[in-house]
């Protein structure tokens, strides 16, 4: 990623399909460190939709 410090990690990724939330487990990749902030914001949105 251009302009981003990356870190090699294995992460579970939240995913929404047809209004159903799930997790895509164990995605190994180089992630931008800010990606964690985006995941947190996304998960908060998913949680608000599931109430």
Instruction: Please give the Cα distance from 31 to 36 (Å, whole number).
Output: 8
pTM attached to this predicted model: 0.47
First to last CA, the chain: 35
Asked whether residue 28 is domain-assigned, the answer is yes
Asked whether residue 43 is domain-assigned, the answer is yes
Asked whether residue 38 is domain-assigned, the answer is yes
Asked whether residue 37 is domain-assigned, the answer is yes
Asked whether residue 1 is domain-assigned, the answer is no
Q: Which H or E element spans position 23?
A: strand 20-32
Question: How many structural domains is the chain composed of?
Answer: 1
Instruction: Please give the Cα distance from 7 to 31 (Å, whole number).
Output: 5
- pLDDT tens for the 51 residues of the chain, in order: 467 788 888 888 878 778 787 888 888 988 887 777 787 788 788 778 766
Instruction: Please give the Cα distance from 9 to 35 (Å, whole number).
Output: 11
Containing domain of residue 11, as a range? 6-49
């Amino acid at each position: 990623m251009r302009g981003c410090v990356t870190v090699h990690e294995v992460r579970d990724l939240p995913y929404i399909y047809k209004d159903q939330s799930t997790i895509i487990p164990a995605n190994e990749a180089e992630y931008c460190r800010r990606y964690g902030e985006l995941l947190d914001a996304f998960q908060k949105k998913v949680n608000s939709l599931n109430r």
